[in-house]
Amino acid sequence: MRLIVAEKPSLARAIAEALPTPATRREGYLEAGDTWISWCLGHLLEQAPPERYDPRYKQWRLDDLPIVPQRWELMPRSQARGQIAVLRKLLKQASSVIHAGDPDREGQLLVQEALEYLGWRGRVERLLVQDLNRPAVARALGNLEDNERYRALYEAAQARARADWLYGINLTRAWTLIGRQAGYDGLLSVGRVQTPVLGLVVRRDREIAAFEPKPFYVVWADLEVAEGRLRAWWLPDESQPLDEQGRLLDPRPAQKLVQQLPGASGHLSELEQKRKRQAAPLPYSLSALQVDAARRHGLSAKRVLDVCQSLYERHQLITYPRSDCRYLPRAHHREAARTLPSACRGDSTLSAWIDAADFNLRSKAWDDAKVGAHHALAPTGRTADMNKLSQDEANLFRLIARNVIAQFYPALETFETQATFVILEERFQAKGREILEPGWKPLFTTRDEAPPLPPLTRGEPAKVLDATCEEKETRPPEPFNDASLIKAMMNIARYVEDPEVRRTLRDTDGLGTEATRAGILETLLTRGYLVRDKKALRATRTGHALIDSLPAAATRPERTALWEQRLSAMADNQDAPAPFLTALVADLQGLLGEASASRMNDALRAARQREAPEAPASPKRGTKRRTSSRSTASPRRRKSGESASSTSSSNRRRKPKRSS
């Protein structure tokens, strides 16, 4: 018998439906002719806790750190024992095995680690399914590959899991212990992604708290030109008192100029006019969708991920959602004239957009060279019954479909003008934009554009009809919200101070992955390090104290972003796990050497004096704390995230759920 091991039951069902023989349901698997299709339940296995390596690690002691296993062990997750037994029985009878994990680093790991744990030594083929529609699954079944081709991807995922365990276990234990010495009786978890994200929010909150608004002044003048009127703004030169953004800080020059302007004459000294073409926004990656959905529909990043999983697994309306790619395969372009109308005919808005689409157009979104393990989110072609979707499901499906439909619309064409006038020896500037071809733009907004400038000719005269000096005030940076924090994680190079590292990180995937970013935000909220203040995300006093007590390097994004870079290199067979883990242990020893109870005490004292929200109450000493090794990011699967359980089962009082 041939055994196919899928990542989850929904994928197993989709595979069974694509086979020529109807499937029969068995206990823990499906049987279709000479094929068994079974499944994992996300990760069936987890990293063994420290006490599995040595019983003395049941008690947390600084002297035992760092804990570094010499031979790594996995153990079954408690809720997965039954399914492990099913797979063990099937593997003993199987003649061949097909790995059908999701087409990414973590999907490669969770099936392959189960096969190796259960002792399978035969050849394994790899099935890569991008969407769950029967034709797509059938095509994938006809294009099996040798799983050995993906050995490097597996080793990269395995290195990630071990590195997260090392980092989370050791630093969480260390900082929880020094927290106790300083009088804080709660868990202080540290993670290679979670903590830098918290650091971003803490630093933003402090910028806002320290911000002192300052007035600045702008002058505009209404001008009469040969063929109409326009408004132009004064461009003060460097002889004026300006801030670093070129804003005028002293009202007196502005007030003096305004008194002289009415009736004054000048001329158009510089005229720049350009015709521009702008292609449609690319189809969505998960993070790009999370940013847009937060702005348009007020959805949290976690909610977007959950809804996308429902659209993918339950409704089978979209392709694999945990994608970091914004491009589509060329083969999808050939099928789009059939799949998109079929997918969208259940919605009047989408149908109207489809009717105006030109399927002969090919945008830059169709690029095989830029498609890796995943492609961008797209409709599968199954018709969406909008009456059976929740409001959130319908809203996200429309967004995903819209961005793909937009690829079959012409480019947005505009005529942009920048005019500079000289009046009373001072420069004034006006800008205008005229839409020549709306193209894809109406699919994204119905807002009216600002009126274009009247026709202009270089050197023509201009007369001031009116002028005003307006007092404005500098504004603090906006607090982070779900959209802006996800965007910051995607574009983490902007928050890196070292110019060399910043250049390196511009081409990486940022902080965290598509699959983990939503879970990281929810973990910080659950652990009381962040709170939601309306739509804003703010750090609590506990969050501030934790960041202040840690070495600065542990709170900034450089380390974890460079981790992801090395993991990507491993997945591409350009790096090896052993040197990476050896360097990490050396790094950990340096960080642990900076654990200081006195520094923690100072941080806690400072936090109590801050204008920051309180964290949820911590358990009192002597009380028991029920915990689970399951991820707070996903109740069913920990996907390419950080380490799971970081403590022993006997240390119930302050045992963390995960060190991430």
Which residues are catalytically annotated?
320
Q: Burial of 209 by CB count in 10 Å (0-12 exposed, 13-18 middle, 19+ buried)?
A: exposed
Please name which of 644, 583, 615, 547 lies closest in space to residue 196, comparing C-alpha atoms.
Answer: 547
Pair of tokens at residue 184:
């804080």
Residues 505, 507, 513, 514: what is their CA dihedral angle, to the nearest 10 degrees? 140
- Strands 96-100 and 124-126 turn out to be parallel
Amino acid at 294: A
Contact yes or no for 186/618 (Cβ under 8 A)? yes
Residue 322: which of 641, 660, 639, 6 has the closest Cα?
639
CB atoms within 10 A of CB 315: 17
Instruction: Specify the DSSP class assigned to residue 494.
Output: G
- 463 three-state secondary structure: strand
Phi, psi of 625 (to 5 degrees): -125, 115
Compute the Cα dihedral for 494, 498, 503, 505 and give only its sign: negative
Angle between helix axes 286-297 and 301-309 (nearest 10 degrees) is 120
Ramachandran angles phi, psi of 575, nearest 5°: -150, 170
Amino acid, single-letter form, for residue 45: L
Q: Distance between alpha carbon 244 and the CA centroid of its chain, in Å?
A: 32
3 burial via Cβ count (<10 Å: 0-12, 13-18, 19+)? buried
Q: Write the Ramachandran bin of 477: left for phi over 0, alpha for psi from -120 to 50, otherwise beta.
A: beta
Classify the C-alpha dihedral 524-530-533-535 as positive or negative.
negative
* Among candidate residues 654, 641, 489, 650, the one with its CA nearest the CA of residue 168: 641
Dihedral sign from CA coordinates of 644, 647, 649, 655 = negative
One-letter amino acid at 569 equals A
Q: How far apart are CA 44 and CA 254, in angstroms?
A: 69
Cβ burial 537-573 (10 Å sphere, 16+ → b, else e): bbbbbbbbbbbbbbbeebbbbbbbbebbbbbbebbee
The overall longest dimension of the chain from CA atoms, in Å, is: 95
Q: Which two tokens stand for residue 464?
A: 């001031």
Residue-wise DSSP of 51-80? HHH-GGGGS--GGGPSP--SS--EEE-GGG
